[in-house]
Chains A and B, each alone.
Chain A
């Protein structure tokens, strides 16, 4: 087997009760992932598209950082309201839900990545990337797309860009009531 990703979605109401849970097979690594891996491993500079739609040249020192802080929607796990089917060349979510408490906004928590867990019985291992989004907008918000965006800007020679590496359209949009939170996890798994 190779590398699979799973998408776990949970909605917690304001009383702390789980009111929705689904686990899907994530379908959509996009070309930005391969582009950065290629330049890292070869040192050859190629072009990528950032989340603003701009073209840039990848540097061999570009990172794949996803551990964004809270109240920032520039990278890490992002959510949106778009409904377009994913394409291999996608570079951003169709309709990003931004961070905040205004109409149609949700408050982005920090991104947490847990280290590899292995199971020697079934020869599998996984890492988990998680972020929680809280709806304090005053009304329900429907989430229909999810993505994972990386940042390459902490090292001196890095290109200082945000770029998409995974993109998923949810099979069923999720309505998050006001006062509730949405927890999204990507579990990236290998099997031997």
Chain B
């Protein structure tokens, strides 16, 4: 019998200025970090709720650790040297497959290289926030080092997709 729980898969897709896919890889995401547990704990114990999904990319190369609070070197949003234009986070409605007893949803975001030069992405991560009546807290919940860094040429677009699955 399959041993279930929550898995995440990381898909990275690069498209050129004409929308043609020039690179695509899918990895098993390895790195929920302690922020996910902190967010879950805050939600389960105090009548709070999650909000504010935010996928980020960076140029760091350090191996993720359980206590990471952010990317090693996050790439900024913009069109300056070394920057990428951040799109909007998008999630798909969860789908249950009663044949395989699995459920999944995707969480994605695109990053456009309008910097005029090459930009290399080597790490990916995600934040989410928890609302409480006493204030909101943002948690870093996922951190993955890409097995192979991706260099984006000018006008190329990187799309990062986390597929979160549960199985019964």
The reply to whether A41 and B53 form a contact with Cβ atoms under 8 Å apart is: yes
**Contacts of B68 on A, CB cut-off 8 Å?**
192
Interface residues of B in 95-144 (CB under 8 A from A): 96-98, 101-105, 107, 128, 131, 133, 143
**Contacts of B6 on A, CB cut-off 8 Å?**
2-3, 29
Residue among A41, A87, A123, A150 making CB contact with B65, cutoff 8 Å: A123
Q: B43: CB under 8 A from chain A?
A: yes
- Classify the interface of chain B: helix, strand, loop or mixed: mixed
The reply to whether B30 and A116 form a contact with Cβ atoms under 8 Å apart is: no
The reply to whether B45 and A65 form a contact with Cβ atoms under 8 Å apart is: yes
Q: B31: CB under 8 A from chain A?
A: yes
Known: A113-B45, A118-B67. A37 touches B167 (CB 8 A): no
**Contacts of A154 on B, CB cut-off 8 Å?**
47
Residue among B53, B65, B168 making CB contact with A192, cutoff 8 Å: B65
Known: A27-B168, A34-B103. A64 touches B33 (CB 8 A): no
Interface residues of B in 44-82 (CB under 8 A from A): 44-53, 64-68
The reply to whether B50 and A40 form a contact with Cβ atoms under 8 Å apart is: yes
Shortest distance from the beta carbon of A176 to any chain B beta carbon, whole Å: 25
Q: A23: CB under 8 A from chain B?
A: no
**Contacts of A139 on B, CB cut-off 8 Å?**
none
Q: B20: CB under 8 A from chain A?
A: no
- Count residues of A near B (Cβ-Cβ below 8 Å): 57
**Contacts of B46 on A, CB cut-off 8 Å?**
65
Give the contact-size bracket for chain B.
35 or more
Residue among B98, B105, B128 making CB contact with A88, cutoff 8 Å: B98
Q: B29: CB under 8 A from chain A?
A: yes
Give the residue name and chain of the B residue nearest to A167 (CB): B168
Shortest distance from the beta carbon of B54 to any chain A beta carbon, whole Å: 10
Give the residue name and chain of the A residue nearest to B131 (CB): A61
The reply to whether A34 and B64 form a contact with Cβ atoms under 8 Å apart is: no
The reply to whether A192 and B166 form a contact with Cβ atoms under 8 Å apart is: no
* Bound Cα distance A27, B66 (Å): 23
Q: Mark A107-136, 1 if CB is under 8 A from B, else 0.
A: 000000101101110011111010000000
* Bound Cα distance A5, B32 (Å): 14
Give the residue name and chain of the A residue nearest to B90 (CB): A42
Other A-B contacts than A64-B40, A127-B37, 17 sampled, CB-CB below 8 A, are A1-B32, A2-B30, A3-B6, A27-B3, A27-B168, A38-B94, A40-B51, A41-B52, A60-B49, A64-B43, A64-B44, A116-B37, A125-B34, A127-B41, A190-B34, A192-B31, A192-B64
